[in-house]
Structure 1
Amino acid sequence: MSLGEGVQLGVFGILSLLAIGFAVGVVFAPNIVYSGFLLAGVFLSMAGLYLLLNADFVAAAQVLIYVGAVNVLILFAIMLVNRRYVFKPLQLGWLRNGATAAVCLGLFALLATAITQTPWPEQPIAAISSVEVIGGHFFSDYLLPFEVASVLLLMALVGAIVLARRDFIIGALPEDLSEGEQSLLERYRPLIAADVEDDTEAEAAELASSGS
């Protein structure tokens, strides 16, 4: 096994372990906000695996779309819901700093070894751009699935707008609402009232702790 193959195998193992670890953290994290951040780690690990497969465009799309759009949207949805989260400071700060330093030093040593020991070619190797190949497949072999995906995304966008514009007026009088709105409000009134009561108790406990 050459040095390049060994480095590639080592990076593959590290990225695979990171993806599995982040995925387990998403499932078992005690706070859903932490799960959202760990999900970004899963997406970044997958992007690194795509880079090992020489799929640079797919890796860039993974970061831009899943991390920069989908994951951020998930975090916004989590933080905008009517619920309070108490973030506790992480313990063992020295362990966190030591792990960060070890990872940085390991990456530096790995990159330095790869740069100094890799037999770089004197002439550049001509290669077909992956963007060109993917674009050709999109508009030839996979044109119909590509258009169907765009329609599905449009439907999801319209559905998100409809859900975001839906309002529940807790104190509204029954005569101010239509029959369908009255039945819907009566169905969800206990849940809304319980949520408001939980928020009130949390605010009272926070004020009591700050006053003491």
Structure 2
Amino acid sequence: MNLAQGVQLVSFGILAAMMIGAALGVVLFENIVYSAFMLGGVFISIAGMYLLLNADFVAAAQLLIYVGAVNVLILFAIMLVNKREDFVALPGAWIRKVLTGLVSLGLFALLGVMILATPWVTSTSITSVGNTAIVIGEHFFSDYLLPFELASVLLLIAMVGAIILARREYLPEQLPSETQQTVLTLPERSRELFSASGENE
């Protein structure tokens, strides 16, 4: 084992420990803001894994999109919507915890069996593909043009739907005509009283 392989192995161990610890923090922290920060740590460690795989463009996209946009958006949504309420224990909550644990263990076992059963190809010779951003752009606009455009159209539809749902909360309800008149007009003094006070003077 040379120096480069040792550095790569140590970096992989650090990033894996960081990813697992941050993922446990997302699940186990009671404060949802701390969970959102831990989710950012998971995204950053995944970007480090992409760098170890020589996928520099995917790592940069991971940092810009997930850490810089999605995670910040989640934090803003949590801080704007988060309301302090007293904790109320749900009846039968332990059943949900047991079922969640069983499902998580099942998924962990399935992934472990898949990793052990997959014939991983390890090769010492690494073929350089040049600038990965140029290669991905060429594939996007040649081989995968239709899925790329469909994904952009779906994102546009989702954005328009989110705008419509957000504006619906701010639309004022239609008030009856009588109520609008009473709200928008000022009470006037009667003309008889005004004329009587003028004659007395």
Q: TM-score range by the shorter chain?
A: 0.5 to 0.7
Counterpart of 1:70 in 2: which secondary structure? helix
* Residue of structure 2 in register with 1:143 after alignment: 145
Measured in 1, the distance between the counterparts of 2:32 and 2:6 equals: 37
| Cα shift at 1:52 | 0.6
Residue identity opposite 1:47 in structure 2: A
Measured in 2, the distance between the counterparts of 1:44 and 1:52 equals: 13
TM-score, scaled to structure 1? 0.58
* Residue of structure 2 in register with 1:26 after alignment: 26
Structure 1 range deviating more: 37-46 or 126-135: 126-135
Please list, as runs of the form range in 1=range in 2, the aligned pairs for 1:1-212 lying within 5 A after superposition: 1-81=1-81, 83-84=83-84, 128-167=130-169, 176=175
Measured in 1, the distance between the counterparts of 2:6 and 2:45 equals: 19
Counterpart of 1:65 in 2: which secondary structure? helix
* Residue of structure 1 in register with 2:186 after alignment: none
Counterpart of 1:54 in 2: which secondary structure? coil
| Cα shift at 1:159 | 2.1
CA spacing shift, 1:164–1:82, aligned 2, 3 Å: farther
* Residue of structure 2 in register with 1:203 after alignment: none
**Deviation per residue, 1:147-190 (Å, 9 max, x gap):** 11101211221122122223279xx7xx749xxxxxxxxxxxxx
RCO (CA 8 Å, sep 6+): is it higher in 1 or 2? Answer: 1
Residue identity opposite 1:43 in structure 2: F
Counterpart of 1:165 in 2: which secondary structure? helix
CA spacing shift, 1:82–1:49, aligned 2, 3 Å: closer
Measured in 1, the distance between the counterparts of 2:38 and 2:22 equals: 5
| Superposition CA RMSD, Å | 2.3
| Cα shift at 1:82 | 5.5
Residue identity opposite 2:136 in structure 1: I
Measured in 2, the distance between the counterparts of 1:25 and 1:61 equals: 24
Measured in 2, the distance between the counterparts of 1:32 and 1:154 equals: 29
Residue identity opposite 1:48 in structure 2: G
Total equivalences in the alignment: 134
Measured in 1, the distance between the counterparts of 2:169 and 2:37 equals: 29
**Deviation per residue, 1:87-134 (Å, 9 max, x gap):** xxxxxxxxxxxxxxxxxxxxxxxxxxxxxxxxxxxxxxx861010110
Structure 1 unaligned regions, length at least 5: 86-125, 178-212
CA spacing shift, 1:146–1:55, aligned 2, 3 Å: same
| Cα shift at 1:141 | 1.4
Structure 2 unaligned regions, length at least 5: 86-127, 177-201
Counterpart of 2:168 in 1: which secondary structure? coil
Measured in 1, the distance between the counterparts of 2:21 and 2:38 equals: 9
| Cα shift at 1:79 | 1.1
